[in-house]
Amino acid sequence: MATTKPDHPIRTLDPVDIPRAEWVSFLIGALIALVIGISLPFEANRVEITIHNPTDHRLYISATTPEDSTETPVAVVEAQATRTADVIDRGPDWTLHVRSTSTYSGTATATRTELTSGVYTIPTRIGDDFTAAGVIPDDNPAEPSSANPSD
């Protein structure tokens, strides 16, 4: 069997064969993809905190910072209970916003160090505020663990 040569020469793609405009377009596209990749969201830092609720009310706690008023959920802590939660780190200074099932009670300020170095106790004035507002203490049993996903 005889080998035959193709009618046209076999060419390989040489960088010189690609016009300059196509190379520039390729480089600009790669640069844009790199910038978009770098700007994608990243996993937030997390901290483990333990909060004690000395009140007779189930507390719904969220946090903000002096620089950012976006509330981040922290934990639901049953009446007269302590709860440990893994939460997004809000930075060195936190403002905890405390609510019962029906009433906003106010805020408590704490540093990251206070929250992570042991058990942080909600100020008793929070319970006093609920009492002054006529909020009836919780006598409902604790919610199932689905209400507290980190349990």
Domain positions in the chain: 46-139
- Which range is least confidently modeled, 86-90, 101-105, 119-123? 101-105
Distance CA 35, CA 70 (A): 27
Question: Does the predicted TM-score (pTM) go above 0.75?
Answer: no
pLDDT recorded at residue 132: 87
Instruction: Render pLDDT for 10-59 as a digit per residue (tens, 0 to 9).
Output: 666 555 556 667 778 888 888 888 888 777 776 778 999 999 999 988 99
CATH topology (fold) of 46-139: Immunoglobulin-like (2.60.40)
Cα dist from 27 to 18, 20, 32, 114, whole Å? 13, 11, 9, 50
The helix (run of H) or strand (run of E) holding residue 120 is: strand 119-121
Question: What phi-psi label fits residue 67: left (phi over 0), alpha (psi between -120 and 50 degrees) or beta?
Answer: alpha
- Which range is least confidently modeled, 27-36, 120-129, 142-151? 142-151
User: pLDDT band at 83, cuts 50/70/90?
Assistant: very high
pLDDT recorded at residue 112: 93
Mean pLDDT of the chain: 82
